[in-house]
Chain A
């Protein structure tokens, strides 16, 4: 009896907790369905009396180039992940499986770089990109994130678990080290790489700090920047369209999370970093 009661109590606490955690999402979607009159109603109700979905979402996509922001988000996150994977996989393999002088120094540099928060290089990078005339371009947004020391670290840890026999056999077959990275190591690393891809995607989709500093042009804005811009332009008046825009920007992430929950959580557990 006491056990039953305890279980009931634990579930109640968890349900209240989950409700608090999910409340902002529920309110966001709820407001995005309502006409202005109902948004400012004294009593909150979950569903609108008068559905205003089409109006709000149309407003969100026409008053600012929201579709463009989302497209930019995909372009930027894709390019960043591609560059991160192309540079991290070979180095991770070298650090995990090859013997060369200076290997430990290289690894120490990776660990050292892990200590540097992403905001620290901002001022020198801004100056450098200004001299190269790359401020306010895709390259300007993408370049500082092209290297992921965390990715190198994570893939190195994974490659260390790959049996040496596999690599020896590949060498017997006449494969060079470069081919081994892409034809042998990459396929075995797919699960770890997928976890890293998930993390890279959420970090860079959500990244605000750097795009906020380098982008002025509306056409180049990433989703978080675009939505801040929208919020500024509307100055807290039209909550319906704003929440519609917030829903549209958050949706790709939440969907990605729900589909790839396992990979996601594994990646986060391995990292914790950043």
Chain B
């Protein structure tokens, strides 16, 4: 920046200040995030159990054991079903809510707040409310479903429905986040594109959506899908307090299995291997998002 020769001292002072100001954050970042992330990978290559005095390198043995572990595969399958259903549902409903709210002129602030409040609320407390709502006899859901002739069930205690009940809670919690992100994307669409479309004579709502909104919303869509997927992969709280992985492993998900192995059974290295699998999934999602966004930008 500064070209005058006398400023080399100044430049050195600036560099020194840069290091000093970055140092506290860098130390904490290594101690709390990057260091432990590296450690978890190394730990997964050992046979160490919590509290043991010695450890041995075992290479990929833990991963071999995972490969043969029935519970791990159930857990992975459940996590993928959870993500596979809750992501499209959240994204679709979030987009619908955003479009509808943008299309009305009255009550927008109210609708926006109503859809967003679950994002800001304590999931754990709300999970207990949902548990009550899913109650087989006095629960609001069975009362409502019974009244309008839909099937009723003991949603959280039935292996066929428990995972879907948790998905419903997850969608309810994340929908507002998707909506807010879509609304930000919608406001960024230039208004003259709609005007140009009107000049062409095509001005009904569906044409406007198909020819302008949807293509222009591309980057937001990729972003929202990635964020929702990463959040869904982290499902843990509702499982831990409502179902504990049951009934008969029907809600066993990756993080829950990791906590069971790593903290309840104290099998640190095995838990670390599950953590690594979890990390691979979430990092791949982010990479996929980056690739998808770059392709779009080249397109435009």
Do A and B form a real pair? yes
Residues of A that sit less than 8 Å from B by CB: 6-7, 10-11, 13-14, 17-18, 20-25, 27-28, 31, 39-44, 83, 86-88, 90-91, 93-95, 98-101, 103, 106, 109-110, 112-113, 115-117, 119-128, 143-147, 149, 152, 176-178, 181, 202, 205-206, 208-209, 212-213, 223-225, 227-228, 231, 236, 239, 242-243, 245-247, 249-250, 253-254, 256-258, 261, 264-265, 268-269, 272-274
B25 contacts the other chain (CB 8 A): yes
CB distance A208 to B237 under 8 Å?
A: yes
The 6 closest A-B pairs by CB, nearest first: A121-B36, A100-B18, A177-B17, A90-B21, A100-B15, A224-B124
Inter-subunit contact B240/A212 (CB<8 Å): yes
- Min CB distance A127 to B, Å, is 7
Q: Which residues of B contact A83 (CB under 8 A)?
A: 28
Chain B interface SS verdict (over half): helix
B277 to chain A, nearest CB (A): 11
How far is it, in angstroms, between the C-alpha of A101 and the C-alpha of B11 when the chains are bound?
Answer: 11
Complex partner residue of A14 from B32, B111, B205, CB under 8 angstroms: B111
**Residue contact A239 to B32, C-beta cutoff 8 Å:** no
A21/B172 contact (C-beta < 8 A), A91-B25, A250-B121, A268-B177 known? yes
Determine the chain A residues whose CB is within 8 A of the CB of B15 once the complex forms.
Answer: 98-101
The residues of A that contact B78 with a CB separation of less than 8 Å are none
Within 8 A of A (CB), among B88-121: 97, 100-101, 103-104, 106-107, 110-121
**Number of B residues with CB within 8 Å of any CB on chain A:** 93
The answer to whether B180 touches A250, judged by C-beta atoms less than 8 angstroms apart, is no
A146 pairs with B28, CB closer than 8 A = yes
Q: B29's contact among A21, A143, A147, A256, by CB below 8 Å, is which?
A: A147
Decide if B128 touches A103 in the complex (CB within 8 Å). Answer: no
Contact A268 B119 (CB under 8 A): yes
Q: Are A24 and B21 in contact (CB under 8 A)?
A: no
Q: Tally of A-B residue pairs with Cβ under 8 A?
A: 275
Closest residue on chain B to residue A93 by CB atoms: B21
Determine which of B110, B175, B279 lies in contact with A120 in the assembled complex, contact meaning CB atoms within 8 Å: B279
Bound-complex Cα distance A112 to B286 (A): 11
- Select one of A27, A41, A144 contacting B132, CB under 8 A: A27
Is B115's CB under 8 angstroms from A24's CB? no
Sample of 7 A–B contacts (CB below 8 Å): A42-B143, A87-B25, A88-B25, A116-B37, A121-B33, A127-B268, A208-B240
Is B43 close to A, CB under 8 A? yes
Least CB distance, A2 to chain B, in whole angstroms: 10
Which chain B residue has the least Cβ–Cβ distance from A88?
A: B25
Determine if B33 and A250 form an interchain contact, defined as CB atoms under 8 angstroms apart: no
Provide the residues of chain B in CB contact with A103, threshold 8 Å: 18
Q: List the A residue with the shortest CB-CB distance to B205.
A: A6
A249 nearest CB neighbor, chain B only: B125
- On chain B, the residues within 8 Å of A119 by CB distance are 234, 236, 255, 258, 275, 278
B165 CB within 8 Å of chain A: no
Tell whether, in the assembled complex, residue A178 and residue B17 are in contact, meaning their CB atoms are under 8 Å apart.
Answer: yes
CB distance from A38 to the nearest CB of B (A): 10
Indicate if the CB atoms of B104 and A11 lie closer than 8 Å. yes
Q: Which of A40, A231, A273 contacts B241 (CB 8 A)?
A: A231
Chain B nearest CB, measured from A20 CB (Å): 8
**Chain B residues whose CB sits within 8 angstroms of the CB of A239 once the complex forms:** 132
Which chain B residues border A206 with CB–CB below 8 Å?
121-124
Q: Please state if B22 and A90 are interface contacts (CB–CB under 8 Å).
A: yes
B50 at the interface (CB under 8 A from A): yes
CA distance A261 to B120 in the complex (A): 10
CB distance from A205 to the nearest CB of B (A): 7
A-chain residues with CB within 8 Å of residue B34 when the two chains form the complex: 109, 112-113, 116
Across the interface, do A123 and B268 meet the contact criterion of CB distance under 8 Å?
yes
CA of A243 to CA of B111, assembled, Å: 25
Complex Cα spacing A7 to B120, Å: 29
Question: Which chain A residues lie closer than 8 Å to B255 at the CB level?
Answer: 119, 209
A147 to chain B, nearest CB (A): 4
Q: C-beta contact mask, B274-300 vs A, less than 8 Å → 1, else 0?
A: 010011001100100000000000000
Q: Judge whether A120 and B275 touch: CB under 8 Å.
A: yes
With A and B bound together, what is the CA distance between A176 and B50 in angstroms? 48
Assess the A272–B120 pair: CB atoms within 8 A.
Answer: no
Cα–Cα, bound, A116→B37 (Å): 8
Within 8 A of A (CB), among B119-159: 119-126, 128-133, 137-138, 140, 143
* 0 or 1 for each of B40-55: is its CB under 8 Å from A? (1 = yes): 1001000000100000
Bound complex: CA A264 to CA B124 (Å): 20
A254 to B122, alpha carbons, bound, how many Å?
Answer: 9
Which residues of A lie under 8 Å from residue B227 when comparing CB positions?
A: 272-273
The interface residues of chain A lying within 8 Å CB-to-CB of B230 are: 117
A122/B262 contact (C-beta < 8 A), A109-B34, A249-B125, A268-B119 known? yes
Q: Which single member of A144, A149, A249 contacts B122 (CB below 8 Å)? A: A249
The answer to whether B262 touches A109 (Cβ under 8 A) is: no
Query: Smallest distance from the beta carbon of B215 to chain A beta carbons, Å?
Result: 21
Bound-state Cα–Cα, A17 to B20, Å:
51
In the complex, B184 has a CB within 8 A of chain A: yes
User: How many Å lie between the Cα of A253 and that of B119 in the bound state?
Assistant: 10
With A13-B100, A272-B181 known to touch, is A250 a contact of B126 (CB < 8 Å)? yes
C-alpha spacing A122/B100, complex, angstroms: 41
* A21-B117, A117-B234, A123-B268 as given contacts; A106 in contact with B180, CB under 8 Å: no
